[in-house]
Amino acid sequence: MSVSSLTGSAGYVGLLTDLRDQLVERQRQLGTGERSLTYGGLESGRTLSLATNARRTEIEAFQATIQFAEVRLNLTDTVIGGIEDSFGEARGAILSDQFVTDGGTKTRAQDQADIMLRDMLGMLNTEADGRYIFSGRSVDVRPVEDPELILNGDAGRAGVKTIIDERTEADRGPLGQGRITTTPTATALTVAEDGTHPFGFKLTAITSTIGGAVTAGPSGTPPNVSLNLGLNQPIAGETVQIGLELPDGTTRDIVLTATDANPPGENEFFVGGTVAGAIGNIEAAVQTALQDVAATELSAASAIRASQDFFAGNTANPPQRIVGPPFATATATTAGTPANTVIWFQGEPTGDPREAAQATVDNGLTVNYGTKANEEAFTWALSHLAAFATADFNETLDVDKDRFQALKSRTATALAYPDGIETIARVRSVVAMAGITMDRTSDRQRDDLLFLDTVRESVEGIDINQVSAEILTLQTRLEASYQTTARIANLSLVNFL
């Protein structure tokens, strides 16, 4: 009788199968380093494993966002640095310019300013991965028009040069006196703005050291100031001073001094033999002084104001145009249209530039790092450079030399950025701070990943030494079981007896 059937019992076979399965599982663990293929196999550690892996996946997504944003940030910093350098070079050239045109209508500094201006306008069209970085949220829209179109326009649309010419004509007025008129009487002189409008000089004050004279204003509509001599004849050395505000917000005082010399010198008036004669002489001196300032400082201020208005325009708020022709007697402005005026900035017209690009780099942490070509830091410099670069001069005319000096001084001062105007360096530093925030967040997240890997390893990983020992134990038990099985399989009652 055979007893080999004992080896086929369910319990015994199950024991061998269990030992074999344990051995296979330990071998898998040793090969992969993982405790289990499923979260269920982790038993009590599955909750911690799920939380750890979820946070790790979240961090990896944040890291990908940071990596993408930093590519754009690095390019933005490089471009802004290039723009800043170009403005610096242009300012240096302007400061050193000595009004030499070499027979043309532009000085060397103007030529250099024109080159730098065109280069910077081109840099503001920089794109990364098909996204324009200075267009705000309108990343698929080329933000800046072609430099040639911006400066000179085309057959149907006015560029910045035309806008400047129209404004200059409107500011100087039909008499070339900055829209100021004079009206004398036998004993008094009234100086008035020629209407209620934004053009030309604006009267701010009048004073006099002439004994017994009475001054008044500015008052009335349109504003005027007056000088009343009464019966008082001016004496040599006494003065009349009229305060003026120019279109760019700067101020200028006309100071006229009485003299016994006839003819009088520059900014002087002959005392005259009568009060009426003195009034006539003062009026003539005022008119001459107004014309001189209008041809030089007013023209420079007008060019800058017009250029600023042009670069303040966008698709939602087109540049203002002078209602005309004629422009010399204009009294109002009207919004330009895309059909008659170049709209230099085509990107997102409004909104905070920084919020135009955002990156959520961690839970509760969003970094704003957008930029737009129409930010004050850029338009301030662009407008002043454009006013300087587009002006025409005749080297042989003294009045053009004075006009050049007025424009040069204003442009160089502006490119140094006065208080209250956002600078290119400031924009660059804000963008850099966004990058620093991302870098610090990324470093912290990498530390978090190392910690999470340690936690995950403790939950999902294995102790190699322990698993190796278990494998040896299982192999020994299986080998012993197989030997026992083999002996039992050969055992019979006859052999047993």
Greatest mean pLDDT among 65-79, 291-305, 360-374, 413-427: 291-305
DSSP letters, 14-74, are HHHHHHHHHHHHHHHHHHH-BS-SSSGGGGGGHHHHHHHHHHHHHHHHHHHHHHHHHHHHH
Residues 126-151 have pLDDT tens digits of 998 889 999 999 999 999 999 999 99
Burial tier of 10 (Cβ tally within 10 Å: 0-12, 13-18, 19+) = exposed
Q: What is the pLDDT of residue 34?
A: 57
Q: Does the pLDDT at position 2 exceed 80?
A: no
d(CA 255, CA 310): 33
Q: What is the pLDDT of residue 62?
A: 85
Task: Categorize the per-residue pLDDT at 460 as very low, low, confident or very high, splitting at 50, 70 and 90.
Answer: low
Q: What is the pLDDT of residue 97?
A: 87
Q: Does the pLDDT at position 36 exceed 80?
A: no
Nearest to 387 by CA among 306, 328, 314: 306
- Token readout for 485 is 């099985």
Give yes or no for a contact between 234 and 270, defined as CB atoms under 8 angstroms apart: no
Share of the chain above pLDDT 90, in %: 67
Question: Higher pLDDT residue, 28 or 68?
Answer: 68
Q: What average pLDDT score do residues 197-215 get? A: 97
How big is the chain, counted in residues?
497
* H or E stretch covering 445: helix 424-460
* H or E stretch covering 447: helix 424-460
Share of the chain above pLDDT 70, in %: 81
d(CA 64, CA 356): 19
